[in-house]
Amino acid sequence: MLAMILAAGLGKRLRPLTEQLPKALVPVAGKSLIEYHIAKLGAVGIGELVINTSWLGELIERRLGDGGAFGVCIQWSREREPLETGGGIRRALPLLGPDPFVALSADIWSDYCYSRLPSALPTGRLAHLVLVPNPPHNPDGDYGLDTGGMVRPRDSAGASFTFSGLAVLAPELVADFPDGAVFPLRDALRRAIAAGAVSGEVHAGLWSDVGTPERLAALEQQLASGDAAMAQCRGERRI
């Protein structure tokens, strides 16, 4: 199984930190965000990675190289201008191949163990999303989840959850968008959810969208106090 790490964003909300440093390389407890993901993916046997880059992407490539130093193999999908989440995934499809793959945003941190992700999707399923309880910066959430584990549009009738930035996606989810199109992943998910083709699960553990200096500081404090630790997935199945 392959994984794609989305690392092409401008990181505007983290400025001035990201004026000279791409957000994927922002350090948390002495380690860059993207290195946490690479270590966790490698720990569960996901060693073939695609990473998209744009803003200051050469710094990410210089740090990670071909991935050999981290025990993985990295292919690079370079974008002249950021194509947003959906457009970045669409551009990278030739590198990702025909099978479902893990997709995750570089600027999140969680103790979710990646071995819990499904290694395949049922016929007709286009995505499986990891959702989290709504954080203060997104109190209304993004999606609902029915009792059968299928994601539905957010409404006022039931509980809502926030998309964590971690998912398993089928290439068909974005394949009919033009290569080079600029669009968020939610545009593709909206269609698939309407078609009943997206499942989900709720992760109730630690999670942070490291999108602002305040959230970065809060995560640093959690880690420093010992309240959080990266899930090592020892003894669990490998995907």
pLDDT digits (tens, 9 = 90+) for 4-24: 999 997 656 655 565 677 888
Kindly report which listed range (28-37, 133-142, 204-213, 221-230) carries the lowest average pLDDT score: 221-230
Looking at per-residue pLDDT, the higher value among 208 and 86 belongs to: 86
The predicted pLDDT at position 89 comes to 98
Kindly tell me if the per-residue pLDDT of 167 is higher than 60: yes
| Predicted local distance difference test score (pLDDT) of residue 239 | 52
**What average pLDDT does this structure show over 134-153?**
94
Instruction: Centre a 10 Å sphere on the Cβ of residue 141 and count the other Cβ atoms it contains.
Output: 18
What is the C-alpha to C-alpha distance for residues 159 and 179, in angstroms, rounded to an integer?
36
**CATH class of the domain comprising 2-225:** alpha beta
Identity at 97, one-letter amino acid code = G
Residue type, 110: S
Average pLDDT of the residues of the chain: 88
CA distances from 156 to 45, 140, 153, 193 (A): 40, 9, 10, 17
pLDDT score for 222: 77
Residue scoring higher pLDDT (36 or 239): 36
Place of tokens 């995750």: 104
Query: Which residues lie below 8 Å from residue 125, measured CB to CB, with a gap of 6+?
Result: 170, 197, 198, 199
User: Which of 146-155, 193-202, 213-222 has the largest mean confidence?
Assistant: 193-202
Q: How many whole angstroms separate alpha carbon 92 and alpha carbon 79?
A: 10
pLDDT reported for residue 39: 94
pLDDT tens-digit readout, 53-98: 987 889 999 999 999 999 999 999 999 999 999 999 999 999 999 9
pTM: 0.90
For the chain, what are the domain ranges? Answer: 2-225
The pLDDT of residue 103 is 98
DSSP state of 150: B
Read off the pLDDT band of 139 (50, 70, 90). very high
